[in-house]
Structure formats: C-alpha cells, structure tokens
Amino acid sequence: MEPDYSNYSIEELEEALASIDKNAYPDRTKILEKELSIRQGWSGQRQTEVSLPYYWTSTGRNLFFVIFFSGLAFLSYSSFSDKSLEGVITFIISTACLIFYGTALYQKSGWVHVDDNGISYQNIWGNKQVPWSDISGCYIRYIRFTKIVYIVGKNGGEKMLPIVGWKAQEINNIVNTEIQRREA
C-alpha cells in the first residue's frame, strides 16, 4: 500500500525523503520530490540543489499597470473633454500613473539578483547590494492577494524586495536555502 503524501507536512516530507531507500523505491522518491516541490512553491529543484546566480524582474507587473492605466486614461478622456470634475481627476491620476509605470517599464526597474556575493536589487530608490554576511534570513509577508518578500539583516533591519507573487516565494526559498548552506 502506497502512503498518502498529500497529508504530510513539509518537515515530514523532507524527513521521509531523507530516510527513503531511493534505489529500492524510485517511484515513491519521485512522488516525494514532486510533493515537496509543490509545497515549497517552486518546482524543479529541491532546497539542497540551489545553484547561483538567479535573476528576477518585475517587468510583467509594470506592463500590466501600463495597459491598465492606458485603458483608464482612454476611457476617462471623454469625461475629461466634457470638463467633468470626476473625469478630469481620473484622467490626471491615470495619466500620471501611466507615466510612472511606463518609465519603470522602460528603465527595467524592479529586479532582484542573487549570486555568490549576496543580494542585489533595484527599486524606485536605486540600486542596493546586501552581502551574505549581513543577511540573517528571509520571509514572506502576505498583503491582500499577493506575497511580498523581505530580507532580514543581522542588525534586525528589514528590506522589502521589489518582486511580488510567486516569484517572491521562489526568492524566499532560494535565499533561505543559501543562508542555511553557508551556515552549515
């Protein structure tokens, strides 16, 4: 009888994977690895198989907002031309947001790079570099319908990285794995 791995916690899956005879049970090993990768929120590699460097951008998010605010500006233009107060306000705000996100998209701002030196990232305040010696951990904060990743410094400070969603979960997993590898 096959065990039901869907009810296992991540810790139980990792323990089962560490203790299973991989040669005797190759099918169970594949099922365990697949279930563990699903639970950890990133596919393809287990936490022990991280190879740097990694690079993520927020281009997709910026493109979404450019399209959204373009449509909003287009739809509010007729109210703007009629000099309706709501139309003027909506048109001005949507045009300002369109310029902001269009500039961010053009400059390719909002990226994170993880390599052997540490974590480099760019947000609207410029480029930052945080070496591994200053990082004590990484965690996810859930805000509304998305995930935001924070790195925690050894001095207790936190820095929000400019990548959200499933990419944030992937960054969290890779950074925490690299920190564990460096501490071992």
Whole-model pTM over 0.75: no
pLDDT-derived band at 39, boundaries 50, 70, 90: low
- The rounded distance, in Å, linking the Cα atoms of 32 and 10 is 10
Q: How far apart are CA 180 and CA 184, in angstroms?
A: 6
Please answer whether residues 178 and 52 qualify as being in contact, where contact means their C-beta atoms are separated by less than 8 angstroms.
yes
Token output for 38: 């699903």
The C-alpha atoms of residue 110 and residue 123 are separated, in whole angstroms, by: 5
- What tens digit of pLDDT does each residue of 68-126 get? 999 999 988 888 788 888 888 999 999 999 998 887 777 666 788 888 888 988 876 77
Reduce the DSSP state of residue 69 to 3 states and report it: helix
